[in-house]
A and B are shown apart, each in its own frame.
Chain A
Amino acid sequence: MLRTMPRYGYQPCREFHVVVLGAGGVGKSCLTAQFVHQEWIENYDPTIEDSYRTQLTVDGRQVMLEILDTAGADQFVAMRDLYMKTGQGFLLVFSITSRASLEELVSLRDDIIRIKDDENIPIVIVGNKADLTDQRAVDRARAFAISQQWNAPYYESSARTRSNVDEVFIDLCRQMLRREDYVDDSRENDPYYHKADDPSSSKRRRRRKNRDNKEHKCVVL
């Protein structure tokens, strides 16, 4: 339905599912809450339907984000699969004060790639709690190395001071948008292409995708 639209013409609001993942205690729920929480809402009620829905504009395009955050329910490991399957972009959050939390991302990323069956699934690595500089346990070089290895941008954020909170989500949106464009382009002449969401298409996409055109990024506070 949307593929017939010219790239820069009128485009409907895209809806993306973003999954926030990370070990417990890294403050990922704070990150989500900060991002979703409109500042003029005095009291945050997480039990309503669009508690985790938010709209933002990325490069002039409207994006509706539904954020899936398993915060608090991480022990229900069995659900993670389902979450990951739904997600189109992933925030991998660790705490710069905990080395172990970074290690945990490794297996999470493996799971994502396995489940999405796609090595280039949009991912942003987030080193949270950047305000706790005196407790830093993961130096930037290390995080940067992983960022390069995974070809995923790395941000250091602080949910407490609200720095780089929006940025990580926006970056992720950019990746998802670009990816969609890429798919759109590559499908332009494919009469049988239906929907980017179709799991089978992701397989093909994976093979086609050229890693080189993906830009690399490291943002540090």
Chain B
Amino acid sequence: MLNSQPMRSSLQVAPLSIQKTRSGQCDDGSESTATDYYSQADMTPPTTPNGSGTHDEDVLERPPSPGPVFHNYLRAFYPFQPSYAMTDSTVTLPLNEGEVILVHSIHTNGWADGTLLVSGDRGWLPTNYCEAYDPEEMRNLLKALLNFWDLMRSTSVNDTDIFGNQEFMKGLIAGVRYLLDHTDCLTRESPLVQRNDAIRRSRKSLLSELSALVKTAKRLQEAQKLIDADEEINKIVDEMILKAFKIVTKGVKFLDNMNEERKARMPAIAMMTTVMEEVPPTPPAESVSFAPEQMEAGDAGSRCKENRGGPEPAPSDTSEGTQESAGVNKGLSGAYQYQPQPASSTNARRLSQNAPSQGNRLSSTISHRVSLVGPSPLSRRQNLVSERLNACHDIFLSHLGSFIGRLHVQSQSRPQLALAIKQSASSGGELLVVIDVVCAQNSLGIEALIHSRCAMYDHLRNLMRTARDVLLTSGPEMEDVIVPQDNGRLLGAATSCVKATGECVAKTKWVIERIGDFEFEGNCNGDMATFDLDLSALDAIQEVRERSMSNAAESASIAGSSVSETPTASTSVSVTPSAISRHKPALSIDKPLPQVPQTTSPVTEQSAEASHSPQTSRRQSLVDDNASSMVSSVASLRPSLPPLPRISTAIPLEDDYAPTGQSAGHESVEYQSFRAESMTASSSGSASTYLSRDSESSLVSQTSTRATTPDHAPRNQPSLCELSVAESAAVSTIGGVAESTTHDEVEDVESQLLERTYAHELMFNKEGQVTGGSLAALVERLTTHESTPDAMFVSTFYLTFRLFCTPVKLAEALIDRFDYVGEAPHVAAPVRLRAYNVFKGWLETHWREDSDHEALPLIKQFAEFKLGSILPTAGKRLLDLADKVSSNDGTLVPRLLSSMGKTNTSASQFLPSDIPLPPPVVPKSHANALNNWKSGGSSPSILDFDPLEVSRQLTIKQMTLFCSIMPEELLGSKWTKMGGIRAPNVKAMSAFTTGLSNLVADSILQFDEVKKRAHVIKHWIKIGHQCSQLHNYDALMAITCALTDTSIKRLKMTWDAVSPKRKEQLKSLQAIVDFNQNYKVLRARLQDRVPPCLPFLGMFLTDLTFVDVGNPATKTSDTGLIVINFDKHTRTAKSIGELQRFQIPYRLTELPDFQEWLAAQIERVREKDKAGVNTQATHYRKSLLLEPREVQALRTPVEPVSAVTTPVGNGMFGWMRGGSVSQPAQV
């Protein structure tokens, strides 16, 4: 496999496949084509070297039907010199042998709009001078360049999210690494590098190019900090693009050298290669490969023949023939100019059953690279099929969305519903049209596409049917209103429709990506009209739809846009050829020919066309009309010149084209156009188009996320990752761009390439937070060398790691990280230090002896041998810690609450300590009552204390409990399991709150007299009010719950004795802690509440429970890897962090005596609870005794008085237990 086969194969196949691409049609297979190609040698230009001897191999190497693939890169194998004068609208670039081109689009006539990597010039290039370039070793790098290019062009330079860090550089670096890795040249010491001087040199220049780019990227970051640096930034960005190109150029060179070397070492192959090289490299002529099909083709074929027959058919229009400078056979070239087009069109007709209907045919003349970049309005990109697809999908989804939304709204008037469904239907139809066009365009992967298309179609039809049923069945008596009877069905139908559509669109995108984007000029407006029947005809429409759709679906071929196209559009294959071919020649003419080995001058062609048949121009103008959005300048250009001048269209202001390409070298001009294009692109690119290249993102979710930044483009916070910067520390020189890189820098980049990384196993959300990842990737994130890791990430990790891995696993992962970073010497030191710090932090503050001790031996061993040998002091320190931790229960360094909560913003905002404590409100009577109680006297009642002071003391007590809650207790719903033994503080807190509630009820129910009870109620309301003033919502919850408890609430007489004002006050207090709408009020209050504040714990507990059960433990990454759902843990940590934010004591004076009394009271109440009594039921019974049912009859509850004076033992009412509490009610 070390031979050059991959390369050769691409060499051989390239021209053919390019042609196929150009024609936009599928091919029978390369073999037959190639054969025919040769057999027709007399009619075609001399065979190209590529095709000849190696033909068989070619077939062997390639699958029989490779399918037309859009090649992103081409490589010239023959020099090309445009010798004609440039028109202002045409930029044709010269090509040197071996140059690599980044292709933006390919016109059917064989010209490609591409950028020369060597110079950065963009212009038209003859594809028949080129071969596809995609050697396996380079693949990643090439792909990375594409992404880089798209990113640089599409993103506004001020986007600090993107450029604030170096993440965007990663792909290129990884690409280079891949190249070196797969050529066994990763290290300088590799024998290959040592031995072969050429390889060594090219490797070095590749690396220095890379480090230059990295440096430039640094400069970009710097420049962004400047205030008014747009210009500067633009310059840098352009520079970076060029540099990136250079990297690839160097990479190509390197690989060439490598292949030389391989050749040299493998004589057999070398021979073959040389044979190849001996043949004079004549680029293949365009039409050649199509010749066979032309012959077969019916009248179209003969037509072509006619053209061909007269080699110099119309000297008049082939004026180029005369102009051809090189002395190559003019006749041939002249002839060929016309052939490609008709041939390909015929070909298209015949080969693909599913030819696009006429409306779309034109579109296939250019195929574009699917780009991340949004359309540039001037280049008429909106007609690209990928954009069309996205747009239609968007529209369809939004219509369906509003339809679904309507279903959720209670009032659905029939017209509204019908309208919504009609819109959905028509937009769905449009989408289908687009998909059909894509299907028709190519047979690549068509089965899968057809399958999902049919599925989508079925769902859509189902929706229509359902809708029709619903609309029809609702009787006339309710003319304007639809019974929501069938909502469920509609909803289901709509939802599955969304899903099916998503799948189908994704598949279509995949196909487009493979075959290249092309322009879409389907007559969609017409289609829509078909659907646009008025409401009453809705069902009729549907039938129409169904018919046409099923036609389409059933004729296994997609029958093109038939769905919505007029019936004629879906005509059978046979009908069309003649009609089409009629136009086609014209078409082909209007797009100039590719060039035969010698140069053809587009200019002349142009004039030729201009003078050409009226048909052409008519056709053109038609097209133009269709494309209403086309900028006029483009429009005017288009008819006349074939050669796609669109390049310079990118410069928005220029009406016609600056002769940019003329002199290959002006980088400045070129820059300008880059810039200009990127500007327009970024301004016009909608989020949805942004998605286009690689978004496999979950289709369903697109519904909601489309409008926003795509999820899959992680933008990392600057702080998080400067990941791949050339370890910025080393390359810190910011100054001169310096083409000349020092040896050090090269080395630096080199070492960077050596890094092993799990970064690809991380998942991010659009805020740049980690949402998932494998353990190794998370650990890597934790120990990233470039910057301090995100605090939230670190604290989440420490807090929750036991939920997704074992302590042993974590230790292993850290040790592994410690080991493998050794491969990257320049970062080894910081990373190892961080790994050590992670261990240290774990042992010091996050150690849980009970669960973590099993990892201790591992850690000790690591500290002693691995760490100790590299960082002796650190090793020793870690050993010490390990020893301490095992002897000491609990954490070594008590976690400061404030530091624990540091993930949150303002933990430190509690009252400064110099503010004096508020003086306690303790009238003499209070103290006396307490003293009396302490010395054995009767217990004071709550009425003896001032409400403010009661609330303060309650708050102190509760806050103490609250502050002692450890974050561990809140993980994994621990407090609900095993009776909460592993969450003692949570339990204590909730027990106290419940006890308080019971105390409230008890204190009310202990009085027989209505007045006294009312008094106690009033008192508690006052206390509650004070609690709310103190922002003690836990106590407030307890008190209001108690006061509204059934047993209290039902004491009608008592409540009658409470003033309306108090009752109102209670109501407003209740509203604060109302749990309706998920504690809406309380949440709002807590949101920007500055501590001190005591939130209601139960709310957090419920949140945490639902985070725990509502989110799966793992998720699947884009690459299909199952990774830890870190998002779940982040949510958990966030919730806990929010709770911790409030773990700050109040500055209040504690009254020990009162606390004692309070504790005793709570304890007293709790005693009863412990006895297994249902306290609530007890209270209720007591309440019944105090104010029996149907009280109206009895004015005063005389009877129970004696029974209730003392706290009631449960035995008395024991008979009531056993589930018949409600019994008395029925008496």
Q: Is A1 an interface residue (CB 8 A)?
A: no
The answer to whether B487 touches A50, judged by C-beta atoms less than 8 angstroms apart, is no
Q: With a CB–CB cut-off of 8 A, which chain B residues contact A86? A: 1076
Q: Is B571 an interface residue (CB 8 A)?
A: no
Stretch at the interface among A9-17, A124-132, A180-188: A9-17
Given known contacts A8-B483, A57-B491, A76-B1098, A113 and B1222 CB-to-CB distance under 8 angstroms: yes
The answer to whether B1078 touches A85, judged by C-beta atoms less than 8 angstroms apart, is no
Given known contacts A60-B485, A85-B1046, A111-B1176, A73 and B994 CB-to-CB distance under 8 angstroms: no
The answer to whether B1101 touches A72, judged by C-beta atoms less than 8 angstroms apart, is yes
Q: With a CB–CB cut-off of 8 A, which chain A residues contact B1097? A: 73
CA of A55 to CA of B1044, assembled, Å: 29
The answer to whether B478 touches A30, judged by C-beta atoms less than 8 angstroms apart, is no
Given known contacts A33-B1109, A45-B1131, A107 and B1174 CB-to-CB distance under 8 angstroms: yes
Q: Is B96 an interface residue (CB 8 A)?
A: no
The answer to whether A49 touches B484, judged by C-beta atoms less than 8 angstroms apart, is no
How many whole Å from B259's CB to the nearest CB in chain A? Answer: 46
The answer to whether B483 touches A60, judged by C-beta atoms less than 8 angstroms apart, is yes
The answer to whether B1219 touches A62, judged by C-beta atoms less than 8 angstroms apart, is no
Interface residues on B, range: 35 or more
- B1102 partner, pick from A25, A70, A85, A111, beta carbons under 8 A: A70
- A115 partner, pick from B487, B1046, B1103, B1109, beta carbons under 8 A: B1046
How many whole Å from A31's CB to the nearest CB in chain B? Answer: 9
Q: With a CB–CB cut-off of 8 A, which chain B residues contact A8? A: 483
CA of A32 to CA of B1109, assembled, Å: 10
The answer to whether A47 touches B1078, judged by C-beta atoms less than 8 angstroms apart, is yes
The answer to whether B408 touches A80, judged by C-beta atoms less than 8 angstroms apart, is no
- B1106 partner, pick from A25, A56, A71, A76, beta carbons under 8 A: A71
The answer to whether A46 touches B484, judged by C-beta atoms less than 8 angstroms apart, is no
The answer to whether B1110 touches A57, judged by C-beta atoms less than 8 angstroms apart, is no
Q: Is B727 an interface residue (CB 8 A)?
A: no
Given known contacts A40-B700, A60-B486, A71-B1102, A81 and B1046 CB-to-CB distance under 8 angstroms: yes
The answer to whether B1102 touches A69, judged by C-beta atoms less than 8 angstroms apart, is yes
The answer to whether B990 touches A75, judged by C-beta atoms less than 8 angstroms apart, is yes
The answer to whether A66 touches B990, judged by C-beta atoms less than 8 angstroms apart, is no
Q: Is A117 an interface residue (CB 8 A)?
A: yes
The answer to whether B1107 touches A44, judged by C-beta atoms less than 8 angstroms apart, is yes
Q: With a CB–CB cut-off of 8 A, which chain A residues contact B1177? A: 110-111, 114
Q: With a CB–CB cut-off of 8 A, which chain A residues contact B1198? A: none
CA of A141 to CA of B721, assembled, Å: 61
The answer to whether A72 touches B973, judged by C-beta atoms less than 8 angstroms apart, is yes
Q: Is B1038 an interface residue (CB 8 A)?
A: yes
- B1078 partner, pick from A48, A56, A107, beta carbons under 8 A: A48
The answer to whether B1135 touches A12, judged by C-beta atoms less than 8 angstroms apart, is no
The answer to whether B1222 touches A110, judged by C-beta atoms less than 8 angstroms apart, is yes
The answer to whether A75 touches B991, judged by C-beta atoms less than 8 angstroms apart, is yes
Of all chain B residues, which has the CB nearest A31?
B1109
Of all chain B residues, which has the CB nearest A75?
B990
How many whole Å from B671's CB to the nearest CB in chain A? Answer: 42
CA of A47 to CA of B1037, assembled, Å: 18
Q: With a CB–CB cut-off of 8 A, which chain B residues contact A73? A: 990, 1097-1099, 1101-1102, 1105
Central interface residue in A45, A74, A75, by most chain B CB within 10 Å: A75
The B contact surface, by secondary structure, is: helix
Given known contacts A75-B991, A114-B1046, A46 and B1099 CB-to-CB distance under 8 angstroms: no
How many whole Å from A177's CB to the nearest CB in chain B? Answer: 12
Central interface residue in B483, B1135, B1176, B1225, by most chain A CB within 10 Å: B1176
CA of A110 to CA of B1216, assembled, Å: 11
- Interface flags for B1049-1076 (1: CB within 8 Å of A; 0: not) read 0000000000000000000000000011
CB contacts under 8 Å to B, within A63-92, are 66, 68-83, 85-86
Of all chain B residues, which has the CB nearest A67?
B1078
The answer to whether A114 touches B485, judged by C-beta atoms less than 8 angstroms apart, is no
Q: Is A190 an interface residue (CB 8 A)?
A: no
The answer to whether B1176 touches A81, judged by C-beta atoms less than 8 angstroms apart, is yes
- Interface flags for B1090-1106 (1: CB within 8 Å of A; 0: not) read 00000001110111111
CA of A57 to CA of B485, assembled, Å: 8
Of all chain B residues, which has the CB nearest A24?
B976
- Interface flags for A89-108 (1: CB within 8 Å of B; 0: not) read 00000000000000000110
The answer to whether A42 touches B484, judged by C-beta atoms less than 8 angstroms apart, is no
CA of A71 to CA of B1175, assembled, Å: 21
CA of A110 to CA of B1225, assembled, Å: 12
- A78 partner, pick from B478, B998, B1127, beta carbons under 8 A: B998
CA of A112 to CA of B1079, assembled, Å: 22
How many whole Å from A21's CB to the nearest CB in chain B? Answer: 14
Interface size on A, residues (CB 8 A): 62
The answer to whether A55 touches B1098, judged by C-beta atoms less than 8 angstroms apart, is no
The answer to whether B987 touches A75, judged by C-beta atoms less than 8 angstroms apart, is yes
Q: Is B163 an interface residue (CB 8 A)?
A: no
CA of A220 to CA of B790, assembled, Å: 50
CB contacts under 8 Å to B, within A16-37, are 24-25, 27, 29-30, 32-33, 37
- Interface flags for B445-481 (1: CB within 8 Å of A; 0: not) read 0000000000000000000000000000000001001
- Interface flags for B1142-1181 (1: CB within 8 Å of A; 0: not) read 0000000000000000000000000000000011110010
Q: With a CB–CB cut-off of 8 A, which chain A residues contact B1102? A: 46, 69-73
How many whole Å from A42's CB to the nearest CB in chain B? Answer: 6
How many whole Å from A59's CB to the nearest CB in chain B? Answer: 8
How many whole Å from A155's CB to the nearest CB in chain B? Answer: 19
- Interface flags for B1108-1134 (1: CB within 8 Å of A; 0: not) read 011100010000000000011001000
Q: Is B922 an interface residue (CB 8 A)?
A: no
Q: Is A148 an interface residue (CB 8 A)?
A: no
Q: Is B751 an interface residue (CB 8 A)?
A: no
Q: Is B704 an interface residue (CB 8 A)?
A: yes
Q: Is B1077 an interface residue (CB 8 A)?
A: yes
Of all chain B residues, which has the CB nearest A45?
B1131
Q: Is B410 an interface residue (CB 8 A)?
A: yes
CA of A83 to CA of B1079, assembled, Å: 13
Q: Is A43 an interface residue (CB 8 A)?
A: yes
Q: With a CB–CB cut-off of 8 A, which chain B residues contact A106? A: 1219
CA of A13 to CA of B1177, assembled, Å: 36
Q: Is A119 an interface residue (CB 8 A)?
A: yes
List 30 A–B pairs whose Cβ atoms lie within 8 Å, in order of A's numbering: A9-B481, A29-B1105, A29-B1109, A40-B703, A43-B1127, A43-B1128, A46-B1110, A47-B1135, A49-B1078, A50-B1077, A51-B1078, A62-B487, A66-B1076, A68-B1075, A70-B1102, A72-B1102, A72-B1105, A72-B1106, A74-B976, A75-B987, A77-B997, A77-B1176, A78-B1176, A79-B1075, A79-B1098, A80-B1176, A85-B1044, A110-B1221, A114-B1222, A117-B1222
Per CB-CB distance, the 5 closest pairs between chain A and chain B, nearest first, are A60-B485, A72-B1105, A78-B997, A46-B1106, A73-B1098
Knowing that A43-B1111, A107-B1219, A114-B1046 are A-B contacts, what are 8 other residue pairs whose CB atoms are under 8 Å apart, sorted by A's residue number? A10-B481, A42-B698, A42-B701, A43-B1128, A60-B486, A66-B1076, A74-B976, A86-B1076
**B interface with A by C-beta (< 8 Å):** 408, 410-411, 478, 481, 483-488, 491, 698, 700-701, 703-704, 771, 973, 975-977, 980, 987, 990-991, 993-994, 997-998, 1037-1038, 1041-1042, 1044-1046, 1075-1078, 1080, 1083, 1097-1099, 1101-1107, 1109-1111, 1115, 1127-1128, 1131, 1135, 1174-1177, 1180, 1219-1222, 1225
